[in-house]
Amino acid sequence: MATLDRDGVCISYDVAGSGPPVLLSNGYSATAQMWTGQVAAWSGDYTVITWDMRGHGLSDSPADPAQYSEALTVGDMAAILDACGVERAVIGGLSLGGYMSLAFNVAHPSRVRALVLCDTGPGYRKDEARDGWNAMAVRRAESFEKRGLEALGRSAEVATSTHRSAAGLALAARHMLPQYDARIIDSLPSISVPTLVLVGEKDEQFIAPADYMAAKIPGAVKAVIPDAGHAANIDQPKLFNDAVREFLDTLPA
């Protein structure tokens, strides 16, 4: 994998294939390894860019909490595109990676050719719901702080991934997972690029958010992946790959 220096923080990324670029962002506590099946399926016709978020995988896990945030993550995505010589790309991700893709569209709309939002949500408008999400993020952090990498669990996307630092994952949970306002959910009606919303049929936590995004984003296409959970791309790779490929192949130049 290639590396990028972001003010002393090394960000790891990989580029495969040729053709129109697609940037894929991992879910929390997963890595670029979760996209192996998509890289193999699409890199014959697309340039597939994958990366490890701060605190994850081969990217650095700085000890300073100030080095973790939504803004820095979005900045990392833009810097990776710059390093690849890409001005505009399809921006996609799963779970936290999908939320960061929406945040990227808010910050850099001119760099987004299309959005692919996988098993994710747009955040919360009500403080009570947001507080519940943020409390979950703290619990995830505390689990890594107490148990180390044993706290990773066995979800499909996590099982494919290798990490170096439990401390980095804890800091990412404390400072990248939390949400503080309704900027992202409020941005949905203003999204002006083609958008694909995917969700696993069994991903109960994200079915309602997927429905909401599909209803609020103008012209959005929704795909439900049968017999798939949160990691729809791993649970049903062919169905997932075909749904995304059909969307990608119909994008205007």
- CATH number for 199: 3.40.50.1820
- Contact of 48 with 36, CB cutoff 8 Å: no
Nearest to 196 by CA among 225, 156, 237, 228: 225
Would you call 160 helix, strand, or coil by DSSP? coil
- What are the tokens at 33? 């390894």
Question: 193-224 burial, b for 16+ CB within 10 Å, e for fewer?
Answer: bbbbbbbbbebeebeebbeebbebbeebebbb
- Contact of 7 with 33, CB cutoff 8 Å: no
The pLDDT of residue 224 is 98
The answer to whether the predicted template modeling score (pTM) of the entire model surpasses 0.85 is yes
- Which residue range is the domain that position 29 belongs to? 2-249
- Overall domain count for the chain: 1
The pLDDT of residue 154 is 76
Helix/strand number for the chain, H first, E second: 10, 8
Other Cβ atoms within 10 Å of 91 Cβ, number: 29
End-to-end CA distance of the chain: 29
Amino acid at 233: N
H runs (alpha helix) in the chain: 36-42, 70-83, 96-107, 127-147, 156-159, 166-175, 183-187, 204-216, 232-235, 237-249
For 19, list phi and psi in degrees, rounded to 5. Answer: 120, -165
Q: In angstroms, rounded to a whole number, what is the distance separating the alpha carbons of residues 102 and 228?
A: 23
> One digit per residue, pLDDT tens: the chain, 253 residues?
899 999 999 999 999 999 999 999 999 999 999 999 999 999 999 999 999 999 999 999 999 999 999 999 999 999 999 999 999 999 999 999 999 999 999 999 999 999 999 999 999 999 999 999 999 999 999 999 999 999 998 788 888 889 999 999 999 999 999 999 999 999 999 999 999 999 999 999 999 999 999 999 999 999 999 999 999 999 999 999 999 999 999 998 7
